């Protein structure tokens, strides 16, 4: 499974990792809803950390589409809110 971390490129991870990512993702949703910045930042760092740790960097010369897109490490809580609302710099 190919995962892209915005700003850092693509990583090839085992498909079983999807469940782990999903769990962290759910925590992030909760923290964003509660407005818990500390919890949000920690979970986002965890999400990115797992991909970096478990994944193998996809060589630059490959042209793949990713199955999962992970937001950039420096995305703020407010920006995450905007992503859920479909606004801001991440709007389509």
62/41 Cα distance (integer angstroms): 31
Nearer to other proteins, 53 or 60 (CB): 60
Residue 69 lies near other proteins (rule: CB under 8 A) = yes
Total binding residues for other proteins by CB under 8 A? 33
Nearer to other proteins, 16 or 86 (CB): 86
Q: Which residues bind other proteins (CB under 8 A)?
A: 4, 6-9, 21-22, 25-26, 28-29, 32, 60-66, 68-72, 74, 80, 83-84, 86, 89-92
């Amino acid at each position: 499974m190919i995962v892209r971390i915005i700003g850092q490129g693509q990583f090839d991870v085992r498909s079983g990792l999807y469940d782990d990512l999903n769990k962290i993702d759910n925590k992030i949703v909760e923290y964003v809803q509660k407005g818990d910045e500390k919890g949000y930042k920690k979970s986002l760092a965890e999400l990115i950390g797992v991909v970096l740790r478990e994944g193998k960097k996809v060589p630059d010369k490959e042209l793949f589409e990713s199955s999962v897109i992970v937001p950039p490490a420096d995305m703020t809580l407010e920006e995450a809110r905007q992503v859920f609302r479909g606004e801001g710099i991440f709007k389509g």
